[in-house]
Structure 1
């Protein structure tokens, strides 16, 4: 660990530290990366006006990738890295694997339950509740990747990653779709959309379409691939026989290689977040590797921490703020104000934002204020040591 005394000495000699500054078993860079990612989730999920959004803060219409499309795969990549740091000790003790898998299953069930509660709130209409969702996908990826980490080697995980990506490509582009004909990548007629309608029925899919779901069942297969990329990255970062500079350099190389492979694969299996295509897994995963490599070098190796606190306060309570932000947003719509019974959320926006900005800037300002309000709440929790582990 780099102490204040050693940092002062380094400033005097102009040397650069080449030792990891984080506490053993924990990456500051991972908490920072998680915090930046969940703050971005809050930003894009809470615009002041859904009709006025800057293009980078929207998802791609279908094929293609915007910065917003990277947020969820970054989070699943982080889940994979976190599994390595959370379960590495248990992995080395086979006699504890049974108890560890029970813990993995319990946490997955809690995540799935939180997602279901969020979808049900406030009406609790079980007839039309959306079953797939962001938290549901996180729970499935955590469950599968957690078990795989305990029971497989790095080489087997790499092989599984390649197998999953190729299999998903074949399923979507070769296997005929029952009731529709040839394989295709259209929103409502691809194999994944058909499977979701069979398993969940249309009443329990994304309310904006009801014929397909961006977090559907089949798409969880390549999403596990994103988690596997994170697991492989986490195991590389934990290598003690390789110096930190080499770890960072090769992680940048691997990230660049994944991006290039994703762009090449995009030629016949287009990058698409909603379908979570194999090319998207590699493209987004490569960018996640490069981002973590940069943050790791700055915070864990060089020990630069001054800029990290806002991200850390988001990162240590990431699931908590994601869940509560959705509940609070829905709650604000339940409270009516003025004689016209305008939802409180709408009244706040039209009172404090729309009179002072253009429509698109008012929408962005509303989202930024939401991020800052949650930052204040999380900062108080952080200072008091309140970390809600899910």
Structure 2
């Protein structure tokens, strides 16, 4: 825990805060049976605004690595010490995921513990991208980025899946699903299917590409020899071109979040670059900062907000009034089913914001 706030890129905190608020909103509807389409994940191929939240966050992990690692190096930290710190953080994030499942379900049967997840993927991408940033040049990382996307495309589309006999992109029979069942076993996969997992081991490889995308943008933002206007112009151009290339690749390798396809990496990374460029231009260049406070509150304690978003709604649902939950009492009688569900989600976002605001005002920024 750190009680002092170091110099940060404000636009990155705001963009991260917006992303975390959106993540909480879509993860905690009042009623899972009544959700506006943009607030749902696509059923398989395709991309909704909800599908962009996770890659946006991984993209920002990459950007943050540049700023964090340069600060550590400037403070005299050795590469070995930085890597050990990154490893510790990785293991803690994975441990938090597993411990959260045990606590919320109060089930100590580890034989059915889901091993993959959002935080484990963030942790693995963070650790691997940290090593790549410290040990390779930007030119080498660009080649790795291209190799990861092309290699994943070839693997998923042309290598026969054992036991199936042909390459395919179906949920239960693609190469990633087969590998998860082989290594993790069905008992440790996504509980609603047990045959595949949206945060698969194989899908972590292109997710590293999303982190490298962020490192590329962060390296550009960090440059001292370029004017801010040039940085913004380059980011908009790079972002738009990547988005278009992703849409083109979608024609024969569909944009798919669950598979984290190569087209999805380019499409989501391009949009994230445009979004960060807009925030950077408005906030850090033009100085429009009045609207930033609500999002900064989330952005500076993003992982804490995400973890608490699993606990707070769970325990709020245990509170009843006359046998009815808070959601059934405050929202269901006054709204249509779909709007009551949305109002319930907004309520959770506000509750979590109040908690994060207390931490912010006390200058408590939890660092794992």
- Which TM-score bucket, shorter chain as reference? over 0.9
2:230 partner SS: helix
- In the alignment, which residue of structure 2 is the partner of 1:258? 242
Q: How far did 1:338 drift? A: 6.9
How far residue 349 of structure 1 moved from its aligned partner, in angstroms, is 1.1
Instruction: Give 5+ residue unaligned stretches, structure 2.
Output: none
Match of 1:387 among 362, 365, 368: 365
> CA offset at residue 336 of structure 1?
6.7
Cα shift readout 1:21-46 (whole Å, capped 9, x = no counterpart)? xx996210000011000000100000
| Structure 2 SS opposite 1:121 | helix
Look up the match of 2:19: 37
Q: Which residue of 2 aligns with 1:104?
A: 86
Distance 1:382 1:95, change over 3 A: closer
Q: 1:358 aligns with which of 330, 333, 336?
A: 336
| 1:10 counterpart residue number | none
Query: In the alignment, does 2:109 pair up with 1:139?
Result: no
Shift of 1:377: 1.5
Q: Structure 1 residues 272, 47: CA separation in 2 closer, same or farther (over 3 Å shift)?
A: same
Normalising by structure 1, report the TM-score. 0.90
In the alignment, structure 1 residue 173 sits paired with structure 2 residue 157: yes
The answer to whether residue 346 in structure 2 is matched with residue 368 in structure 1 is yes
1:237 is aligned to 221
Q: Any stretches of 5+ residues in structure 1 without a counterpart? A: 1-22
Q: Is the CA contact (8 Å cut-off) linking 1:104 and 1:143 kept in structure 2?
A: yes
* Rg larger for: 1
Describe the SS at the equivalent of 2:304: helix
Distance in 2 of aligned mates of 1:290 and 1:67: 15
Q: Residues of 2 paired with 1:28 and 1:141: CA distance?
A: 23
Asked if 1:323 corresponds to 2:304, the answer is no
- Picking from 182, 186, 189, the partner of 1:198 is 182
Report the Cα offset of residue 87 of structure 1: 0.2
In structure 2, what is the Cα distance between the partners aligned to 1:330 and 1:349? 12
**Aligned positions of 1:1-390 closer than 5 A:** 26-90=8-72, 96-122=78-104, 123=106, 124-333=108-317, 335=318, 337=320, 347-390=325-368
Runs of 4+ aligned structure 1 residues displaced above 6 Å come to 92-95
Q: CA deviation at 1:330?
A: 2.8
